[in-house]
Amino acid sequence: MEEKEYKIGNATEFSKDEIAAFKKIVIEAGEVSSETFDGLISKNPVLLFYPDTKN
C-alpha cells in the first residue's frame, strides 16, 4: 500500500485553497451540505487531510 503524506491541524492552520478542496470533496460525497460544512469549519476543528486527494 502506498504511503501518502497528510496534514493534520486545526482548520485555521489550512490555507483557503486546502479548505476549499476539502469542502468540495465532502460535499460531492454527500456527507453534508455547504452550510453545514461552513458551520462546522467555523468551530476550528482538527482536520486530517491528504492534500493531493481527488475524492
Does the residue 1 lie in any domain?
Answer: no
Does the residue 2 lie in any domain?
Answer: no
pLDDT digits (tens, 9 = 90+) for 13-49: 999 999 998 899 999 999 999 999 999 999 999 999 8
Whether 51 shows a pLDDT value over 80: the answer reads: no
Does the residue 43 lie in any domain?
Answer: yes
For residue 5, the model assigns a pLDDT of 85
pTM: 0.77
Question: pLDDT band at residue 4, thresholds of 50, 70 and 90?
Answer: confident
Distance of alpha carbon 26 from alpha carbon 55, whole angstroms: 8
For residue 49, the model assigns a pLDDT of 80
- The count of structural domains within the chain is 1
Range of the domain at 23: 7-49
For residue 6, the model assigns a pLDDT of 87
Up-side HSE of residue 50: CA atoms within 13 Å toward CB?
10
Does the residue 54 lie in any domain?
Answer: no
Does the residue 23 lie in any domain?
Answer: yes
